[in-house]
Structure 1
């Protein structure tokens, strides 16, 4: 997983009231970087799912960064939580929870995750 550029746009979030600002930030950055409108909506849903999970399950906030490189848009969501269980099947219709990460994987062209000092990084990638 390559390093993100030092000058990539980013913001932190720490409480539920920040989630709206995160969605707006991600949508504005994606638009400025040339992601088509329908893909901006999908990226916003994916980031919203990850950041909401941060607040519900990790007991803290996180940081979001967005940039483009070589025809791709990247979005990193870094938080203090543990590794994410990507690669699972979509839960059955009667399941109460558990669809979020499966949806993130289906929305994005690729999803990578790695443990970083103090938590976990999830990198979303969409083709511009």
Structure 2
């Protein structure tokens, strides 16, 4: 998964069993709060991470899902979550971005849900990148 985690990022690796989705959601909510995301947006992070991790568990080959959570680029006021082993992009090779055609019933529904929760959703290979843009600048 790229890019490499920064000094302020939290990296979480969980096994591919369904009971680990709850752990990922709890950690994501805690990190979002630490970053200053408003509480209503923290709920969106929790739900989106649960969905992204669940779908990642269906696609990982080594039975491990990795999350990198933390601030976006310095001074952007973003909170970014990268989930390795994510949704399959359209056609299986090109990145899927907002506005792309539906990649299929199951992945399309998950992608639509993620787009409804996060400000930006990008699927790059086996990594799903979720971004929320309302972190207060310090």
Instruction: Give the TM-score normalised by structure 1.
Output: 0.78
Match of 1:71 in 2: 77
Alignment of 1:1-128 (within 5 A): 3-7=3-7, 8-14=9-15, 15-59=17-61, 60-69=63-72, 70-79=76-85, 83-85=88-90, 86=96, 87-88=100-101, 97=106, 98-115=108-125, 120-127=126-133, 128=135
Deviation of 1:123 (Å)? 0.8
Q: Any stretches of 5+ residues in structure 2 without a counterpart? A: 91-95
> What CA RMSD, in Å, does the superposition of the two structures yield over aligned residues?
2.3
Closer, same or farther: CA 49–67 of 1 in aligned 2, 3 Å: same
Give the number of the structure whose residues are more often strand, by fraction. Answer: 1
Check conservation: 1:88, 1:102, Cα contact below 8 A.
no
Change in 2 beyond 3 A, CA 1:57/1:4:
closer
TM-score (ref. length: structure 2):
0.73
Q: How many residue pairs get matched?
A: 117
